[in-house]
Amino acid sequence: MKRVFRNVTLSVLEFCALIYFSPAFSSVKENDDLIEILRTHTYIALPLEQQIEDEKATIETVTNVLNMFRETWQFKTDKITITPHNPSDRINAWFTPSENSLTFNIAFLGGRLVRTCRSIDIVSHETGHLFLKVLQPVWCRPCRPQTGAFDESFSDITAILFGLWHAPSRKRALKNLQSQKSCLGGDVGVCIRDMQTSKTLSELDSCEVHDLSQPFTAAVHDTLEDHFQILHQQGVTMNNICLGLARNFRDILVQGVLNTKDLKPSFGQIALNMIRVAGPYKNSLGQNFVRRQILVLFYKQIDQKKYYTTGPYEGICDPQTPMRSRNMTGYRYSKANYNDSFCMIL
């Protein structure tokens, strides 16, 4: 890996100015990703060495997340611009699609300085947004609440899978997987979102995209946990379980997204495409999607045979979902799995 840092002359800090941005000062070429850092200068006492260390760590996480996906998928990104230390009074970070940029706030929380760029959870979540834009550049996120919420869910699932894939994060990711609460940002002592909420779609208090994303994320989280328990009981080593689950679910997630042709898909459409490619995980994944009301199960009798199929859960934060789309091209259950646990939910 080759890293090239350009020298720049730093501007003089104005006495009264709280913040100013210097021009891009460094570029890093790693694989095919051109990553540019925007350094922010503030009165928040953060030594230059610390800033540089944070910048390198942020670049490393972004690169590693993209490399996780590159194990299976080949893609190129546009130049990525990262602002690791954006001064704020809020713990937050975001991806700006029009600029292909990632911004990470630095903020005081209860007297403690939190640098969100040092959270592997938060950085991998934001990189998830960036990668989803690579996969589906023209999806219209604002057109439909569930499409925007899936963007959040995709990014949270990216953070969960990266934790399992990335050896240094594995211990904490496993602990999260098995605990009652799985906090995004827990690695820097904050809980931006619980990725293991017990709420179903109809139990949500709001249609805000981050809130709305939680049941979808939790369905995948629960499926990972179910399979962790099964594999653990079979005596598979922890490292092999984590790596295997991360790789398999990464590919289910990405293939499900790639197979979704609607430009403003609902949760149900994406979930269906995921379980269609989920192989041995299809029943447990389908079951967890039904439990969280991402999908509903119903059947239709044709020639004295019952075909079970799934459809989107109608109406919740999604006025565009047709009332119970009885589309028989949906996922069908064969006679062989007619009595399996997924169907038993009925």
Q: Which is nearer to Zn ion, 61 or 155 (CB)?
A: 155
Bridge partners, 295 (sequence order): 312
- Residues from 142 through 161 that contact Zn ion (CB under 5 A): 152, 155
* Tokens representing residue 77 in the block: 């990104």
Q: Identify the DSSP state of 203.
A: G
**Per the structure block, which two tokens stand in for 301?**
């009798």
> x/- contact string, 155-194, with Zn ion (CB under 5 A)?
x---------------------------------------
CB of 93 to Zn ion, least distance (A): 8
Binding mask 98-137 for Zn ion (x = CB under 5 A): ----------------------------------------
Euclidean distance between CA atoms 9 and 22, whole angstroms: 9
Contact 77, 33 (CB under 8 A): yes
Least gap, CB of 102 to Zn ion (angstroms): 11
Helix (H) or strand (E) holding 69, with range, is: helix 48-70
Q: Could you give the angle at which helices 120-135 and 238-258 cross, rounded to 10 degrees?
A: 30
Q: Which is nearer to Zn ion, 152 or 318 (CB)?
A: 152
Query: CA angle, 311 as apex, 324 and 130 as ends, to 5°?
Result: 120
- In angstroms, give the least distance from the CB of 152 to Zn ion: 5
Distance CA 224, CA 163 (A): 12
Q: Whole-angstrom Cα distance, residue 153 to residue 206? A: 15
What is the rounded CA–CA span in Å between residue 295 and residue 312? 5
Q: How far apart, in whole angstroms, are the C-alpha atoms of residue 137 and residue 151? A: 12
Say if residues 87 and 105 touch (Cβ distance below 8 Å): yes
Is 61 or 284 the residue whose CB approaches Zn ion more closely?
A: 61
Q: 5 vs 94, which CB is nearer to Zn ion?
A: 94
Nearest approach, Cβ of residue 117 and Zn ion (Å): 15
Single out the residue of 272, 166, 164 nearest to residue 224, CA to CA: 164
Which one, 152 or 187, has the nearer CB to Zn ion?
152
Q: Which residues of 105-118 are buried (b: 16+ CB within 10 A; e: fewer)?
A: bbbeeeeeebbbbb
Count of other CB atoms within 10 angstroms of residue 283 = 17
Please enumerate in sequence order all residues whose Cβ is within 8 A of that of 239, keeping only pairs 6 or more positions apart, or say none.
167, 170
> Would you say 152 or 222 has its CB closer to Zn ion?
152
- Shortest distance, position 96 Cβ to Zn ion, whole Å: 11
In the complex, minimum distance from the CB of residue 50 to Zn ion, in angstroms, rounded to a whole number:
26
> At closest approach, how far in Å is the CB of 192 from Zn ion?
9
Question: Nearest CA to 126 among 98, 145, 108, 104?
Answer: 104
- By beta-carbon proximity to Zn ion, the closer residue of 184 and 294 is 184
Residues that contact Zn ion, how many (by CB under 5 A): 2
Q: Which residue, 33 or 152, has its beta carbon nearer to Zn ion?
A: 152
Closest distance to Zn ion from the beta carbon of 125 (Å): 6
- The nearer residue to Zn ion, 35 or 102, going by C-beta atoms, is 102
> Residue 176 Cβ, how far from Zn ion at the closest point, in Å?
18
Q: Which residues bind Zn ion (CB under 5 A)?
A: 152, 155
